[in-house]
Structure 1
Amino acid sequence: MTISADAKQLLERDRLAVAGIEKLRFFPIAVQSGKGSWLTEMGGRKLLDLSSTWTACGLGHGHPALIEAMTKAAQNPAGAGGLSAAHPDSVGFAEELLAFVPGKGDRRVYFGHAGTDANEVVFRSARRATGRKRIVTFKHGYHGGLGVAMKVSDVHIAAGVEADPDLFLATYPNPFRPHVTGPDPIRASLEATIAEIDTELAKGDVCCLMAEPILSDGGLIVPPRGFLSRLLEVCRKHDVLLAIDEVKMGLGRPGVMHAFQLDGIVPDIVTFGKLIGGGLPLSAAVAPAWLIDGPPASALLTTAGNPICTAVGRQVMRTLKEEDIPARAKRAGDRFLAGLRALMADSDVIGDVRGEGLAIGLELVKSRDTNARDRLLTTKVVYRAFELGAVVHYVGGNVLEITPPLVIEDSEIDLAVDILEQSIKDAVAGKVSDETVAPFAGW
């Protein structure tokens, strides 16, 4: 594959002008535009998008309804935020989100710019409102890139970030790699995790437990069914708030509207980001009023709740319902999983294929005899897929995270399976050198 002159020029400008601290690169991509499930590079090459910008563009690129909502709001904006004024789209967004998210009692909506600040506000509010300090999250989890949210994210802690001093990291049950042995290791691992959490919550000083319904950046781990319901049970036992981080894995992607519905629960707190803004900076936390309704001015972002982003957020919720996106994601996911599992049957380096709806993980290993993780191969597969015309990233060191737009067509799914098959074969055959992927460390 030859990188176009225009792409090379943009990449060099990017190197010289944009801070590396906010870059997570897997290949030399320079994007010019997008439409539906496709991205167009500088120079005109088209790439099938199997990431959706880490799910933020989950309704695809340039969805007509979102463009219309954005354009209408931008033509007559009511200021630039909801900090010191109410406007119809900020209030309407909050009202509609309360109706959209299952729950009881008096609740409020915090809106911000990214999942990071939504989770940050939840953690700080839980500490203030309960008078307790400790937070429970999970090993290999991710809840944000700044503040407390970063310091309770094990993905960052493992990379050298100082952990919050009042954090307990619990073990997330992984059916492919159970942490307990025995005749039924998956069930035993689930029980061991619940017992571990029960011991911590019994100490009486935990303000909040936050869990991802599918552990995304830690390796696209789909927990055993019943995991969330058991978490809710143990939280209720010890009067601890249960927060579910739906930032990446919710909003139709797992084949249901909210990922926590896979276990039939209603948590105390739900946080949103990425897709809720349709690609624009918007996040939200839905929580009890006693938790986040004060003190005034204790979580300030000047442009949070701005009329353009909240107008698009309202349209995202309408589109999810009007186009029955969860059912569409379920059907598409079944097709995608079937195609990938057929590849697995003929490959010794595909250790596992797992997922719910269009939240899919393909784990690459040195051999299925050992299931030893193969990070270098994974890096090369992702790079080769880029060369062959698809954008896919890896998480957890050796897992392809496949999260395409929820509007992906059947023919595009079949093409994606073909590209991934060839990418794996080519990487195994040595068609991507160590030197080629060295500058693209990813996580």
Structure 2
Amino acid sequence: MSMITPTANTPLEFQRRHTGLSQLYCLDSTPILQRQIERESNARSYPRRIPLELKRAQGVYVEDSRGQVYIDCLAGAGTLALGHNHPVAVEAIQNALASGIPLHTLDLSTSIKDAFVQTLFELLPSEFAKDARIQFCGPSGADAVEAAIKLSRTTSSQQTVLSFHGAYHGMTLGTLSLSGNLGPKKSLGGLLAGVQFLPYPCSYRCPFGLTGEQSIDASLHYIRYLLSDPESGITQPAAMILETVQGEGGVIPAPERWLQGLRNITREHGITLILDEIQCGIGRTGDLFAFEQSGITPDVITLSKAIGGGLPLSVMVYRNELDQWQPGAHAGTFRGNQLAMAAGNATLRFIQQEELTTHVRHVGHQLQLLLQGLRAEFDWVGDVRGRGLMLGMEIVDPESSDSLGRPAADGDRASKLQRACLERGLIVELGGRHGATVRFLPPLIISEMEIEHVGQILYQAAQAVHAVFS
């Protein structure tokens, strides 16, 4: 584990200059940030909450144009598994450039591509990998999801797709159709027809008003009944798609027994089971793939983000039996990103060789305990959940209730906490219903010392927010 020690991935220069515990950082606009506001689309999102002009980055740290240093617990929305500019990824990119290999190859083969595929299949659970095919997709995860839906409809005489409340699968018209958030699709027509949404179990906010095992039982019973009811109004589905851990939906892990139940249901009804591991895969949850813990074997998985070592890449891996589509049925110009495959292969090898999943479980537990400590002290921290280094802390209004009598989600207070963290040198993101869940997706190499530092900043930020609402 030598390459994940603090001195290896976070140069002392960055550590010395990270002074967030002693002063508030200035977040005034710069000329570049002002030009961004004037010239970029109104659809821009992250700069509104994280108004930084970034200059350098290393490991878990980023530095802005004013020389201020931040701990990055967003890490490209989980893309940067090894943090910023990790030596193994940088070296792989440099070697690929020096080799003279074509940088753009469509879906033609190269030694770099072959090595990437070999590594990925070695890391996949053997039961899945032994009978699998891979499709390289466009550079975004959304394109892999689009491919998965096209494949499932091609191999089935049916069209309906089952998705889940709180889901996030991308921002294309097709993937928005499968996603729960109503905001981006309110004004859009032409969404994918035949999508049916189902409840995703969450003990803290179960739509049935239940908790624990009862919530799981109710969800599985509802789905079984729906598929057997001749008056359900839902035609036989071609596919069911879900995130093994919901990310944008508020960091909600799928219970193992529920996943096992879904696998049984989909097999019984001949439904293709698609697991979206675009954010929760590649070591993020403390397992190489989040579905491994449940012991199930899906029909299809979609992968992106961390799989490219920080560069754009997405793939779909699926059972050979489903490989019934025709040549060119799913294509795209940028399927042959050689630099991403080189960086991705190096990243996957490093995660495997350094047993990084063990480290993720350890420091993830450490961070979860720190978040639980905040929950014990502040009554507006309603729930702490997640797995590994994919964690969320839901912020609530203890004086208001939702329709089922639970504390209401408080997006305003969560936003103030995010801002207070940023002012003290910590980048976190918001998600979940009403934007009330503070999300943590730090690089998988983050050290115990850095986790402790994150906890200290969080506590100071929480105290500041508490003072505002007291």
Equivalent pairs, count: 429
Q: Does 1:151 align with 2:174?
A: no
Alignment of 1:136 onto 2:162: yes
- Residue 82 of structure 2 aligns to which amino acid in structure 1? L
Q: Classify 1:378/1:266 alpha carbon distance in 2 versus 1 (closer, same or farther; 3 Å).
A: same
Mapping of residues 185-334 of structure 1, within 5 Å = 185-202=211-228, 205-292=236-323, 294-334=325-365
Q: 1:413 aligns with which of 451, 455, 470?
A: 451
Report the CA distance between 1:2 and its aligned residue: 6.0
Structure 1: tracts of 5 or more residues without a match:
432-443
Please point out which of 41, 47, 60 is paired with 1:19.
Answer: 41
**Secondary structure at 1:108 match in 2:** strand
Counterpart among 101, 121, 124 of residue 147 in structure 2: 121
2:421 match: 385
For 1:322 and 1:380, the matched residues in 2 are separated by 40
2:330, 2:338 → 1: CA distance?
Answer: 19
Instruction: Identify which range, 8-17 or 66-75, moves more after superposition.
Output: 8-17
1:377, distance to aligned residue in structure 2 (A): 0.3
2:286–2:361 contact (8 Å) kept in structure 1 = yes
1:136 to 1:100, Cα distance in 2 relative to 1, 3 A: same
CA contact (8 A) 2:141 2:302 kept: yes
The aligned counterpart of 2:15 is none
Which secondary structure state, in structure 2, belongs to the residue aligned with residue 401 of structure 1?
Answer: strand
Task: For 1:408 and 1:2, locate their aligned partners in 2 and report how far apart those are by CA, in whole Å.
Answer: 22
Change (3 A) 1:72 1:294: farther
Q: What residue is the counterpart of 2:79 in the other structure? A: 56
1:401 matched to 2:433? The reply is no
Q: More deviation in 205-214 or 99-108? A: 99-108
> Aligned in 2, Cα 1:222/1:204: closer, same or farther, shift over 3 Å?
same
Give how far 1:73 is off: 0.9
> Which ranges of structure 2 fall in alignment gaps of 5 or more residues?
1-23, 229-233, 401-405
Aligned pairs (5 A) from 1:41-190? 41-83=64-106, 85-102=108-125, 103=128, 106-112=131-137, 113-156=139-182, 159-160=185-186, 161-162=188-189, 163-181=191-209, 185-190=211-216
8 A contact 1:348–1:368 mirrored in 2? no
Preserved CA contact (<8 Å) 1:83 1:304: yes
| Distance in 2 separating the partners of 1:118 and 1:307 | 18
Tell me which residue corresponds to 2:31. Answer: 9
Structure 1 residues 173 and 158, CA gap change in structure 2 (3 angstroms)? farther
1-structure distance, mates of 2:244, 2:30? 39
1:64 to partner: Cα distance: 0.4
Q: Deviations over 1:12-68 (max 9, x none)?
A: 121233323243331312211211111111111000111111100121111100001
Establish whether residue 365 from structure 1 lines up as the match of residue 419 from structure 2: no
Displacement of 1:77 in angstroms is 4.4
2:412 equivalent among 367, 371, 376: 376
**Aligned residue type for 2:411:** R
Shift of 1:293: 6.1
What are the Cα deviations for residues 322-346 of structure 1, in whole angstroms up to 9, with x where unaligned?
1111111000011111111122111
Q: Partner residue of 1:438?
A: none
Query: Conserved in 1, the CA contact under 8 Å of 2:107 and 2:336?
Result: no
Q: For the residues of structure 2 that align with 1:344 and 1:392, how far apart are their CA atoms?
A: 17
RMSD: 2.2
Of the structure 1 ranges 194-203 and 70-79, higher mean CA displacement relative to structure 2 is found in 194-203
